[in-house]
Chains A and B, each alone.
Chain A
Amino acid sequence: MSRAGSAAPTVPLWRRPRVRSLLWQVLLCLAVAALAWFAIVNVTENLARAKIASGFGFWNVTAGFDISQTLIAYSAQASTYGRAFWVGLLNTLLVAGLGIVLATALGFTVGIARLSQNYLVAKLAGWFVELIRNIPLLLQLLFWYNAVLKALPDIRGSIAVPGGGFLNNRGLFLPDPQVTAGGPVLAALLGGLAAAVAFGLVRERLGALGRGAPRVVVTLLLIVTPPLVAALVAGSTVSFTVPEMGRFNIRGGLEVLPEFVALLLGLSIYTAAFIAEAVRAGLMAVPKGQTEAAHALGLRRGATLRLVIVPQAMRVIVPPLTNQYLNLTKNSSLAVAIGYPDLVQIFTGTVLNNTGQAIEVVVITMAVYLTISLATSALMNGYNAWITPTER
C-alpha cells in the first residue's frame, strides 16, 4: 500500500531548492565576511608597514588644545581626546536639536502660509521657499556669519541688551542664572515635562472623553508647578552672574557664540524651506472634500485646518520631515567652515590632525552620525505610526 508514500521522489540533496538556496546564502555570507576580514587585515598590515600609529589608545591622551564652546567641563591641560569628542558631540547635538525645533516651527508656518488665501502672504512664503532652497547651504552659512554677524559692532561699541547683556560681533552675552540647589528643581522640571507629554497622549487616546480637560491650562500647570514647589521646598534662590566688560573681552555671564548663531540660523532657515514644501504637499494631499465637509459641519477655517486637515496631512508630511531632520543633523558638519566647534571640527579636524589616526577617527565619527540618524529615524517612524489615523 505504501508504494506511493515510500517512493517519495529521490531528488538529490543539491537539487532541492531549499538546500540550494541555503547553500548560496551561506556562501554569500562567508564571502562577505571574508571580504570584511580581508579589508581589516589589509589595513592593519599596511598601517603597521607604513609605521602609522593605530588603535584607540589616543582616546585617553591629554588633548592640549582649547575649545571655544564647551557644554561639559573641559580644559586643555586636564582633558583627553575622548573628552574633546564628547564636547564636540554635545555641540553637534545642541545645534541639531535646536535647529530641528526652529526649522519645524518656521517650516510649518511657511508651508501653511503658502496656501493662504491672502495673496501677499502666499507669495511671500513662495518667494522665501524658492530663494532659500536654491542657494547652497554653505553660502548661506557664510552669509550669516560674515555678512550679518560680523557686521555687528565690535566689542568697544557693544549694543547693551536690556537686563544687563551685551551684543557685539563676538556674540551675545546674557546674565547667567545661577540656581542654588538646582538639582531637585531640574528633576522636577523634567518630571513635569514628562507628565505634560503623558497628559497630552492620554487625552488624545481618550478621544471624546478626554476633551473635558482644558489642554493648555493643565499642560502649563504640569510644567510650571513641580519646579516651583521643588524650589520652595529645597529653598533654592536664583541669582544672575552679569556679564562685565573686561580688559579685552566680556567676562562672566552666558555667552552665545556668533559661530553658533550663524550655524543655527543657516541650518534652520535652509531646512525650513524644504519642510515648508513637505507641509504644503501634505496639506494639498488631503482631498478637497474634507474641507468642504468640515465647512458643511460649520467648522471655521482655523478649526478645519487644525482638526481635519493637518491630522490627515501628517502621515504624508512625516516621512519627508524625517528626511529633513536627518539632513539638518548631517549638514551641521558644515560648521567647520565657520569655526563652530562641532564633532567634525574638533574630532575629525584637530584630534585627527594631532593624532594622525585618520581611520579610527573617521570610523568613530561615521558611526556617531549613523547612530544619531538611525535614532532620529526610529523616533519619527514611531511617531508616524502613532499619528496615522485608524482607517475605517
Chain B
Amino acid sequence: MKRVFVAILAACAALTTGAPASAATLDTVKARGSLNCGTNGQLPGFAMPDAQGVWTGFDVELCRAVAAAIFNDPSKVKFVALTAKDRFTALQAGDVDVLIRNTTWTLSRDTQLGLNATSTYYYDGQGFIVRKSLKLNSALELNDAAVCVQQGTTTELNLSDYFRANKMRLKSVTFATLDEALKAYDTGRCDAYTTDASQLYSVRLKLARPDEHVVLPEIISKEPFAAFVRHGDDQWFDIVRWVVFAMLNAEEFGITKANIDEQAKSDNPEIKRLLGTEGNFGEALGLTKDWVVRIVKLVGNYGEVFERTIGQNTPLKISRGQNALWTKGGLHYAPPVR
C-alpha cells in the first residue's frame, strides 16, 4: 500500500516537472543537434520527398535555411510530414520546432492556438481546377457543383464563404489529406477541386490526365503563407522571421550562392551589415555573425530558392507575380538589417 502511495506521489512530482518546459527553443534545437521542421509531405514543389527519399520543395528549403543559420549545415533537419488537421497540434505539443507547411496566416491562428506567424514567405490565393469538358469560364458558373476539398483548412471555409456570397449552392466533399481529396476529384466524385493557386499547378501534375483539366481564373481569397512558431519564445520567433527576411534582403542586394564570397568583400554598408562584416546583428539574434552567409551559401537567396523549386524551369512553372520583390512590382518587402 505504501508503495502505491509513493508511486502516486512520484507521479504527481512527474506531472509537475513534466509541464512543457518553456526552455528556449534555440537551446533545445542546438542540444538536439537538428531542427524538427513540420511540413507538408504531399505537395510537389513545396514539400515532398522525391524518388530517392530526399525532401525537396520551397517550404523544405526554408527549413534548411533555418538549419543552415543555426548549424552551418542545411542537412541537420528532420522533416515531419503533417496533415492539415494535425499540423497545429504537432507544433503546440512541441513535436516540431517550426511549422513551414503552406499554412495561411489568419487572426484566429495567431490568437487562439498559442502560436505566432512569423512573416509571409509566399503570397497565395485560392482557386479552382475543373475538367475542360465542362467548358467553364468562371468559378461563378459553379452553382450546384460538387467540390472536393481538404478538411481543416482555410480553403474549406473560403469555399463556403464564396458560394454563400455569390448565392450559389455547394456540395462540398471533404477529406483529411490532399491526396484523398485529389483522388476523389480525379475519379469524378467532384466537379471541381479547390485549393491554393500555387498547389493547383502542382496537383494538376498528379492527375491521371493533366491536360484534361483547367484552372479557373478567379482567385477567391488571400492566402499569405507564414512560418509558425510557438507563442512565448521571442528569440526563436525572431530567428525564423529573420531567416526569411535575410533571404529576401540577399536577393534585393543581388547576393547569390555563386557570388557570396565576392560580395562578402563589398564596401556597401548595407551588404556589410547583412553579411556580418560590419556590426554584430547575427549574435544579437542568438546566431553567429555570418548567419546570412551560411544561409545564402548553403541554400541560396529567396529568388534562387523560388526558381529552383517552383519557378519557370520546374514542372510547376509558377511566375513570381506577387512574390516578386517590391522593387520589381511584387509584395515582398523585407525590413532592413540595421
A175 at the interface (CB under 8 A from B): no
Residue from the list B12, B15, B152, B184 in contact with A350, Cβ < 8 A: B152
Q: Is A42 part of the binding interface, using a Cβ–Cβ cutoff of 8 Å?
A: yes
Interface residue from A50, A66, A338, A353 paired with B231 (Cβ < 8 Å): A50
Please pick, from B12, B111, B164, the residue contacting A76 in the complex, using a CB distance under 8 A.
Answer: B164
A39 with B15: CB separation less than 8 A = yes
A81 to chain B, nearest CB (A): 12
Given the known interface contacts A169-B189, A258-B189, A358-B92, the answer about A349 and B176 at a Cβ–Cβ threshold of 8 Å is yes
Q: Which residues of B contact A339 (CB under 8 A)?
A: 173-176, 180-181, 184
Q: Which stretch, B31-39, B139-147, B277-285, B320-328, touches the partner chain A?
A: B139-147
B85 and A52 within 8 A (CB): no
Report A333-347 CB contacts with B as 1/0, cut-off 8 Å.
000111101000100
Interface residues of A in 28-76 (CB under 8 A from B): 28, 31-32, 34-35, 38-39, 42, 45-47, 49-53, 64-68, 76
Which of B153-161, B210-218, B266-274 lies at the interface with chain A?
B153-161
Please state if A248 and B152 are interface contacts (CB–CB under 8 Å). Answer: no
Q: Say whether A300 faces chain B, with CB atoms less than 8 Å apart.
A: no
* Interface segment, one of B16-24, B64-72, B200-208, B293-301: B16-24
| Contact partner, A66, options B159, B180, B232, Cβ 8 Å | B159
User: A365 near B: Cβ within 8 Å?
Assistant: no
Contact A246 B231 (CB under 8 A): no
Secondary structure call for the B interface: mixed
B89 located at the interface, meaning its Cβ lies under 8 Å from any Cβ of chain A in the complex: yes
Q: Is the CB of B174 within 8 A of A345?
A: yes
Q: Which of B16, B112, B134 contacts A355 (CB 8 A)?
A: B112
Task: Look across to chain A and name the residue whose beta carbon is closest to the beta carbon of B110.
Answer: A51
Contact status B231-A51, CB under 8 Å? yes
Flag if B172 contacts A68 (CB, 8 Å).
yes
Give the distance to chain A from B42, nearest Cβ to Cβ, in Å: 15
B144 pairs with A251, CB closer than 8 A: yes
Which residues of chain A are within 8 angstroms of B15 by Cβ–Cβ distance?
35, 38-39, 42
Please determine whether B180 and A354 come into contact, CB atoms closer than 8 angstroms: no
Residues of A within 8 A of B170 (CB): 66
Tell me if B16 and A42 are in contact (CB < 8 A).
yes
> Which B residue sits closest to A339, measured CB to CB?
B175
Complex CA gap A170/B146 in Å reads 9
Say yes or no: B88 contacts A353, CB within 8 Å: yes
Residues A51 and B114 in contact in the complex (CB < 8 Å), given A170-B146, A248-B145, A358-B89:
yes
CB nearest to A353 among chain B residues: B152
Determine the interface band of chain B, counting residues with CB < 8 A from chain A.
Answer: 35 or more
Contact B5–A27 (Cβ < 8 Å): yes
Task: Give the CA-CA distance A341 to B171 in the complex, in Å.
Answer: 13
Is B232 touching A50 in the complex (CB atoms < 8 A)? Answer: yes
* Given the contacts A47-B114, A76-B164, A251-B144, A354 and B157 also touching, CB distance less than 8 Å: yes
For A64, list chain B residues within 8 Å (CB).
157, 160-161
Say yes or no for A247: interface residue by CB 8 A criterion. yes
**B230 an interface residue at 8 Å Cβ cutoff?**
yes
Flag whether A203 is at the interface (Cβ < 8 A).
no
Residue among B170, B174, B183, B231 having the largest count of chain A Cβ atoms under 10 Å: B174
CB-defined contacts of A31 to chain B, threshold 8 Å? 5, 8
Contact B151–A46 (Cβ < 8 Å): no
The answer to whether B174 touches A68, judged by C-beta atoms less than 8 angstroms apart, is yes
For A150, the closest partner residue in chain B by CB is B187
Contact for B143 among A65, A247, A336, CB less than 8 A:
A247
Does any Cβ of A come within 8 Å of B219's Cβ? no
- Given contact pairs A246-B144, A249-B146, A249-B171, A349 touches B113 in the complex (Cβ within 8 A): no
A residues 64-99 touching B (CB-CB < 8 Å): 64-68, 76-77
Q: In the complex, are the beta carbons of A52 and B19 less than 8 A apart?
A: no
Contact of B85 among A51, A67, A353 (CB under 8 A): A353
Mark contacts of B121-153 with chain A using CB atoms, 8 A cut-off: 1 yes-contact digit, 0 otherwise: 000000000000010000000111110000111
Q: Which residue of A lies closest to B1 (CB)?
A: A24
| Closest-CB distance, B192 to chain A (whole angstroms) | 9
Interface hits, B234-262 → A, CB 8 Å: none
Roughly how many angstroms separate A46 CA and B21 CA in the complex, as a whole number?
Answer: 10
Q: Are B188 and A155 touching (Cβ within 8 A)?
A: yes
Complex: A336 Cα to B108 Cα, angstroms: 25
Could you tell me the distance between the alpha carbons of A155 and B192 in the complex, rounded to whole angstroms? 13
Report Cα–Cα, A49/B92, bound state, in Å: 12
CB neighbours (8 Å) of A137 from chain B are: none
In the bound assembly, the distance between CA atoms of A77 and B170 in angstroms comes to: 12
Q: Are A46 and B20 in contact (CB under 8 A)?
A: yes
The answer to whether B84 has its CB under 8 Å from any CB of chain A is yes
**Contact across chains for B232 and A65 when beta carbons are under 8 A apart:** no
- Contact present for B89 and A35 (CB under 8 Å): no
A residues within 8 A CB of B191?
A: 248-249
Closest 7 CB pairs of A and B: A353-B152, A52-B114, A154-B188, A76-B160, A50-B114, A356-B113, A53-B112
Chain A residues with a Cβ under 8 A of chain B: 24, 27-28, 31-32, 34-35, 38-39, 42, 45-47, 49-53, 64-68, 76-77, 146, 150, 154-155, 169-170, 246-249, 251, 258-259, 336-339, 341, 345, 349-350, 352-358
A–B pairs, 29, beta carbons within 8 Å: A32-B8, A35-B8, A35-B11, A35-B15, A50-B114, A50-B230, A50-B231, A51-B231, A52-B114, A53-B111, A53-B112, A53-B113, A64-B157, A66-B172, A67-B172, A68-B171, A68-B172, A154-B188, A246-B144, A248-B142, A248-B144, A249-B191, A259-B173, A345-B174, A350-B156, A353-B151, A354-B152, A356-B92, A356-B108
- Other A-B pairs, 8, CB within 8 Å; known A248-B134, A350-B85: A42-B19, A50-B230, A150-B189, A170-B146, A247-B143, A251-B144, A350-B174, A353-B88
User: Chain B: residues with CB nearer than 8 A to chain A?
Assistant: 1, 4-5, 8, 11-12, 15-16, 19-20, 22, 84-85, 88-89, 92, 108-109, 111-114, 134, 142-146, 151-153, 156-157, 159-161, 164, 170-176, 180-181, 183-184, 187-189, 191, 230-232
